[in-house]
Chain A
């Protein structure tokens, strides 16, 4: 159902987490950061090489490498500068 991943977000874009496909350790770490299904994420910055990128997750900014961000599948791309929402679906 999800066609794109976190690594595809451009700076300023937001979307909602659909599912996380990563190895168990990384999946747990991302869940601990509050990255559960329906969580809104915004890409806030990219490093000079474009990878890693920084994401706003529940009020905290977390940097992820492209290969890790690809495992976070997204849905419902928000228009840029949309009002900040919270969890869409739980």
Chain B
């Protein structure tokens, strides 16, 4: 769940990348690397930005940029999406390759995982073919040390022919040296000349036939050797880019076409067709990486792998995988509910004490009643509710979830849940985007870019809203606590709350499976596409960093967003409640109008209205309900959940109202930011409309069925 200033809200809606240089002489450095090697951590450490990091592949789905200053020179760092290759097989690979080719980078840094160097070197070799001004950053050296892996950095630099720097970006080790190497490289008049990967003789001969001509055409803008290899490999996407970016239409360039024909003839005579050529190219890269690695990496292999494999078996096996997953989920909720209880009460007592003092102040100043009403009873009171209800659970839930994420647990969840997605003809990576949705559905929708197949991506986007985001958690927790568990402290009650909340989440997950399956069988028919999912090594979570980052970046950011929506909403609802039209307030008219329909769903007019007003941010639904009830009744002293419960019950809430409100909170239209993001990601008004109507329809159906059944059975 990538949830920071840049990945949620408007930042989630990604536009094209325009390089922002502070000064014209600033240098542009592209940051490439395999998924999940700590690239974003390096990026954050250097730029001071907070691109979300976590131990699972595919968090960075678009180019991000940031500035950094080193020894009085400015650099623009561009964080490319993580890729295994630059052969442009997927959207991320194409983005990464296009930037390296045409983005105007002065140099590249390839970030590698020291614990899995061999696979990473494949990308290094490919990058070197394209951009020799390159620094290799061997990251996660601390993890490697723990696992008894040693990397001979100097030996690697000698063999590769470019600078190699070791780092442990999570602890800030080696970053200074990394930037020194970058500075030296970009200042040098000549680019390094790394020894190229040598392919089979007929391939080398074919390349030689093309190279001189390509050198004149490209005039140094791209490596001629690399371009020759791609032309031989019939890379259609690159041809398009060449004509777009360099204005060079290869297919109409007769001299090049002729040379290409000749070169293909050379290959054909050696029995190298298109498929054989590609296999030879890839195999040579893999084997070169293997040879390089064998010379510079030493490790006690079996031993280091054993612990991870044991954990894998425990966390994913038939006997223990699913029970442990549920236990962890319920455990996280238990800690959240139990831990949030007391601070929540304290906060609301404090904030409402402040409200009384504000009222005193307004009275002392002889302020008009309407001003006091609008500002204190409207704006301030809603803000106080939002803060006291939301802040404590978020400040506990986010760090806990981030710890699990940092540890590397999320890909294991995807692994365990994949079978269900497989049955729904959907992609297993949907479990990852679903987990992102726990943080913010808009971020989850953007995260769906990790799914390659357009059909499966659309399914993941349309169903992301079925897991409740952080904006809905506090509402769910508050209702569970008030109506089903009781508000006192005590172990048993906390456990019961956690179990109930887990049940609600499981219902959301079940709906995700069910709707995915429904979509696959109807409007999005198709067979599941192939995919690979990496299960990264477990890492010891960086506890201090996780707490600081998740509180500062996520909690306060999300709270800030909620507050900025809640303030005007508070004003609006106060005005609606106090402006009288024809004998009743506007609020009465609105809720009265909605009431008959809402009652069918087990809700009431006020609740439905709160959901409608909560369109910009789900966080404010409960505060709006409270405001609306308070505005029409006598003023209560509401300083804890018990008083709140009394208020709700006075306004006709039963256990059925509570259940239906929770169900509707779980399944209704996505918030405005998510809708915008869906529009942007699908590029289609039709699918955006489906994404709104689908959960709304299902939510209404579910609430109606539950309410009607309960009423018919005489339970409520």
Cβ contact within 8 Å between B302 and A84 = yes
Which of A23, A33, A39, A47 interacts with B84 by CB under 8 Å?
A: A33
Residues on the B chain within 8 Å of A11, using CB: 313
* A60-90 interface with B by 8 A CB criterion: 60-65, 67-68, 83-84, 86-87, 90
How would residues 360 to 371 of chain B score, 1 for a CB under 8 Å from any chain A CB and 0 otherwise? 000000000000
| Segment at the A interface, from B111-119, B176-184, B597-605 | B111-119
How would residues 489 to 521 of chain B score, 1 for a CB under 8 Å from any chain A CB and 0 otherwise? 000000000000000000000000000000000
A44 beta carbon closer than 8 Å to chain B: yes
Which of B309, B313, B535 interacts with A63 by CB under 8 Å?
A: B535
Sort chain B's interface into a size bin. 35 or more
The A/B interface has a contact count, at CB < 8 Å, of 140
Sort chain A's interface into a size bin. 35 or more
* B278-321 interface with A by 8 A CB criterion: 278-279, 282-283, 286-287, 289-290, 294, 301-302, 305, 308-309, 312-313, 316-318, 321
| Segment at the A interface, from B338-346, B411-419, B700-708 | B411-419
Cβ contact within 8 Å between B419 and A52 = yes
Q: Chain B nearest CB: distance from A20 CB in Å?
A: 9
Residues on the B chain within 8 Å of A62, using CB: 532-535
Closest to B323 in A: A48
Cβ contact within 8 Å between B85 and A32 = yes
Q: Chain A nearest CB: distance from B453 CB in Å?
A: 10
Which of B118, B287, B322, B536 interacts with A36 by CB under 8 Å?
A: B287
B428 beta carbon closer than 8 Å to chain A: yes
A25 beta carbon closer than 8 Å to chain B: yes
Residues on the A chain within 8 Å of B419, using CB: 47-49, 51-52
Residues on the A chain within 8 Å of B290, using CB: 34, 58, 86-87
Residues on the A chain within 8 Å of B321, using CB: 47-48
Q: In the bound complex, what is the Cα–Cα distance between A30 and B89 (angstroms)?
A: 11
Cβ contact within 8 Å between A58 and B287 = no
Q: In the bound complex, what is the Cα–Cα distance between A26 and B119 (angstroms)?
A: 17
Residues on the B chain within 8 Å of A32, using CB: 84-85, 87, 89, 122, 282
Q: In the bound complex, what is the Cα–Cα distance between A17 and B531 (angstroms)?
A: 19
Q: Chain B nearest CB: distance from A66 CB in Å?
A: 9
* A13-66 interface with B by 8 A CB criterion: 22-23, 25-26, 28-34, 36-37, 39, 44-52, 54, 56-65
Cβ contact within 8 Å between B119 and A47 = no
Cβ contact within 8 Å between B118 and A47 = no
How would residues 387 to 430 of chain B score, 1 for a CB under 8 Å from any chain A CB and 0 otherwise? 00000000000000000000000010011101100100000100
Cβ contact within 8 Å between B316 and A59 = no
Residues on the B chain within 8 Å of A67, using CB: 528, 530
Residues on the B chain within 8 Å of A68, using CB: 530-532
Cβ contact within 8 Å between B278 and A29 = no
Cβ contact within 8 Å between A25 and B312 = no
Q: Chain A nearest CB: distance from B147 CB in Å?
A: 11
* B450-472 interface with A by 8 A CB criterion: 452
Residues on the A chain within 8 Å of B282, using CB: 28, 31-32, 36
Q: In the bound complex, what is the Cα–Cα distance between A29 and B429 (angstroms)?
A: 15
Q: Chain A nearest CB: distance from B572 CB in Å?
A: 49
Residues on the A chain within 8 Å of B428, using CB: 52, 63, 65
Cβ contact within 8 Å between B530 and A29 = yes
Cβ contact within 8 Å between B532 and A63 = yes
Residues on the B chain within 8 Å of A51, using CB: 418-419, 422
Residues on the A chain within 8 Å of B416, using CB: 47-48
Closest to B294 in A: A86
Additional 12 contacts, C-beta under 8 A, given A23-B530, A65-B528: A31-B283, A33-B84, A45-B313, A46-B317, A48-B322, A54-B535, A58-B118, A59-B117, A61-B535, A65-B530, A83-B302, A87-B287
A residues near B (Cβ < 8 Å) are 11, 22-23, 25-26, 28-34, 36-37, 39, 44-52, 54, 56-65, 67-68, 83-84, 86-87, 90
CB pairs A–B below 8 angstroms (10 shown): A25-B452, A33-B119, A34-B289, A34-B290, A46-B316, A54-B415, A61-B536, A65-B422, A68-B532, A84-B302
B residues near A (Cβ < 8 Å) are 84-85, 87, 89, 115-119, 122, 278-279, 282-283, 286-287, 289-290, 294, 301-302, 305, 308-309, 312-313, 316-318, 321-322, 411, 414-416, 418-419, 422, 428, 452, 528-537
Nearest first, the 9 A-B pairs at minimum CB distance are: A49-B419, A26-B530, A32-B85, A63-B533, A61-B535, A31-B282, A32-B84, A45-B312, A48-B318
